[in-house]
Amino acid sequence: MEEHAKRCFEFGPFRVDPVERVLLREGEFVALTSKLFDLLLLLVENSGRVVEKDRLMREIWPDTFVEEGNLTQNISVLRKALKDDGHQYIQTVPRRGYRFVGHVRGVVDESDLIIEEHSVARVVVDEQRPDLPAVKPSSETAQVSGTRPLRITRRLPGRTPLLISLALAGIAIAFTYFFWIRRAENISSASPVEIRSIAVLPFQTLTASTADEYLGLGITDALIAKLSEIRELKIRPTSAVRKFSGQERNAMTAGRELNVDSVLDGNVQRDGETLRVSVQLIDVREGRTLWAGKFDEKFTNILSVEDAISMHVAQAMTVRLTEDERSRLGKHYTIDPAAHELYLQGRFYLNEFTEDGTKLARKYFEQAIARDSHYGLAYSGLAESYAFGEIGLPPEEAFPRAREAATRALEIDETLGEAHAALAQVAFLWDWDWPAAEKQFKRALELTPGDPEVHHMYAHYLTAMGRFEEGLAESRRLLELDPLSPASRNHLGWHYLYAHEFDQAIEQYKLVLAVDPNFAEAHRQLAEAYAEKGRFDDAVAETLKRWELIGRGDEVPALKKAFSELGWKGFWQRRLQLALERGKHSYMSPAGTATIYAALRDTPQALGWLERAYREHDHDLVYLKVDYGWDSLRSEPRFQELLRRMKLD
């Protein structure tokens, strides 16, 4: 066992431990965000000296522009944590900065050891704990299957090497007994569990008020976002677990259905200003609880509760965290709990994937920003609502707004993967700036490797560039992250369709429709794959099924009649008539109209509509290089010139 002496700082009843990154008051944890701890440590280390405002902002928020008001707000929160109403610890030096005026004692501590027991017969002696969030589980921490959370911090009397050696020897003997003797008794949890996939089930909201319905799924979404940043961990997205919301469910059954090693299950109750959260991490394979905890906190501590849960999950699963991942797990993007609550409400409605939900989400994100203008995550959510859900808005309005919000988010915090993904989407679909899009996609994946939507859109980009092997790898990664989603399987079919591998595409679409016969997009794309194989009867049948599903059943008889009387060409002629008629009343994609003319082998009209699509910046043109619908036009000089103008040749 290796020993390390730790240098801590003490003032009044407080102790600052720079190694464990915790603040203690008479032995009890004081909840601090990562930035607040950094701020306190910098002031304490310079006790008695003025620390200039510029230095504080430069060292606490490196590579990020922050206003002085942000620093002032953090100092205020720190004073509250220290109960420093009379400024006996932190003194303001007008127009210069701050000075720590409390009497600071430097303490070299060779003897603080922590023993934690997380599960039956598992004792961990940890001499250098990683940076745990400063939230203490309540005394009611769940004890399941013999799980007995235990925290002992023991200060050994005296400082002589002999006493320290004797104490360490005693601990070593105890450790040996617990580890080897219990191991000999065949207790299954004597060693850490290797778990690499997890589903966070929607937390059950135990509050009668419908106003709090967002809370369970909001916390779930926040935890999924945090855990998605861990490269070693496969985590099911919110879209995959949302169906378990608000229903009686068995966590083990849900875990098996989602095909994961573990599930995180919990409930949340808000009682006035008190937040009660109960949570347990379950090993799906063995049916045992790996970790369980209860938190009774003020609602203002919701951010710290999320930190504590995500860090404990990572530890219980023995995931190796990089320093960057550890830092980001404990990172807070706002210090205003009300702003965070508004953000959770925004995520709740954004995940409904409806026009009304998207509009509501934007309002909540904007309200969060109004409360905290430096809340980068709220700007990021707003950018997502425009870039990935231009519902109810024309592209020329949605994409510039997405760019504006994402750019602001990254000015505040460059490490927001969602904002990079939104900028990638804008560069890809709107700017047609291929190098910029790839740069942003790669950065988004670096920061959020577990986000299936980023893999989804990057696969679209790679396919549009004709890089089919790389696109296939991303499509398979999407399916790996969200294997039960018909949309993920359908996307794999889409990849094969655009790669001109039509038999493989047909196989994937049949798998989708076996699970969900009403998946309209699968019917559409299957029809197109059949058409490319010359199976026109099947293509028409799938097209008509899709039109019934999307509410255009009134047009089905005319199309059926056209095909039966005039064949494949007559079918497309009737489709053209219907499309031109609809175009008089609603927006029709010019690229889509070009596809109809190409199917009719009317080359001049098809090229004319493609030129119109270019002028109107129709984002379907990003697939000009690979779309099978325009294969009949590829030898045309005008088509080749259009490819050059779009830098896709």
| Mean pLDDT of the chain, nearest integer | 80
Please tell me the predicted confidence (pLDDT) of residue 293: 83
Higher pLDDT, 117 or 256: 256
Quick one: pLDDT band at residue 493, thresholds 50, 70, 90?
very high
Output the CA torsion 577→582→583→584 (10° steps). 100
pLDDT at 529 over 80: yes
Quote the CA–CA distance of 57 and 335 in Å, as a whole number.
16
Would you state the pLDDT for residue 344?
Answer: 87
Q: Is the pLDDT of residue 62 over 90?
A: no
Contact 388, 422 (CB under 8 A): yes
CA 334 to chain centre: 17
Neighbouring-strand partners of residue 22: 17
Closest CA relative to residue 495, chosen from 520, 519, 529: 529
Q: Determine the average pLDDT of the residues in 96-116.
A: 67
Mapped onto helix, strand or coil, the DSSP state of residue 177 is helix
pLDDT confidence of residue 152? 26
pLDDT at 116 over 70: no
What is residue 482's three-state secondary structure? coil
CB 8 within 8 A of CB 16: yes
Q: Are 8 and 18 in contact (CB under 8 A)?
A: yes
192-202: per-residue pLDDT in tens?
A: 456 788 899 98
Flag the least confident range among 6-20, 106-120, 534-548: 106-120
pLDDT score for 246: 66
Cα–Cα nearest to 541, from 555, 522, 560, 558 = 560
For the segment 305-325, what is each residue's pLDDT rounded down to a tens digit?
Answer: 887 788 778 777 666 777 777
Separation of alpha carbons 243 and 217, rounded Å: 11
At 6 the pLDDT is 60
Where is average pLDDT lowest: 31-40, 251-260, 640-649?
31-40
Q: Class for domain 6-108, per CATH?
A: mainly alpha
**Complete DSSP assignment for 554-590:** GGHHHHHHHHHHHHHHHHHHHHHHHHHHHHTTS---H
Written as six digits, the tokens of 235 are 């985590």
Q: Specify the range with the lowest mean pLDDT, choosing from 45-54, 123-132, 289-298, 459-468.
A: 123-132
331-335, 539-543, 580-584: which is most confident: 539-543
Tens digits of residue pLDDT in 157-195: 333 343 334 343 443 433 333 333 333 233 233 334 567
Of residues 109 and 393, more confidence is placed in 393
SS3 220: helix
Domain map of the chain by residue range? 6-108, 110-190, 197-332, 333-448
CATH superfamily, region 333-448: Tetratricopeptide repeat domain (1.25.40.10)
Residue 635: closest CA among 600, 592, 598: 598
Q: What is the pLDDT of residue 161?
A: 41
Handedness of CA 626, 628, 630, 636 (dihedral sign): positive
Measured distance CA(358)–CA(352) in Å, rounded: 8
Better pLDDT: 67 or 215 = 215
pLDDT surpassing 60 at residue 122: no
Answer for the pair 122, 189: CB distance below 8 angstroms, yes or no: yes
Fold: same for 6-108 and 333-448: no
Query: Quick one: pLDDT at residue 389?
Result: 60
609 or 184, which is more confident: 609
Helix (H) or strand (E) holding 244: none
Task: Give the tens place of pLDDT for each residue, 348-406.
Answer: 888 877 888 888 999 999 999 999 999 999 999 999 999 876 566 788 889 999 999 99
Helical packing angle, 520-532 and 486-498, nearest 10°: 20
Closest CA to 408 of 375, 363, 365, 361: 375
CA Rg value for the chain? 29
Nearest to 504 by CA among 540, 470, 477, 468: 468
Q: Read off the pTM.
A: 0.65
**What is the H or E stretch that residue 259 is in?**
none
Q: What are phi and psi of 509, to 5 degrees?
A: -65, -35
Sheet arrangement for strand 122-126: 122-126, 113-119, 151-154
Both tokens assigned to 419: 């904002």
Specify the CATH class of 197-332 in words: alpha beta
Q: Quickly state the pLDDT bin for 247 (edges 50, 70, 90).
A: low
- Residues 217 and 234: their CA atoms lie apart, in Å, by 19
Q: What is the mean predicted confidence (pLDDT) over 317-338? A: 75
Residue 127 has pLDDT above 80, yes or no: no
Query: Is the pLDDT assigned to residue 156 strictly greater than 50?
Result: no
pLDDT for 175 equals 36
Q: For the chain, what percent of residues have pLDDT higher than 90?
A: 39
- Residue 582: what residue type? R
Hey, what are 147's tokens? Answer: 């799980």
H or E element: which one contains 92?
Answer: strand 90-93
Question: For residue range 414-431, what is the model confidence (pLDDT) as tens digits?
Answer: 999 999 999 999 999 999
Q: What pLDDT shows up at residue 391?
A: 64
* Measured distance CA(513)–CA(17) in Å, rounded: 58
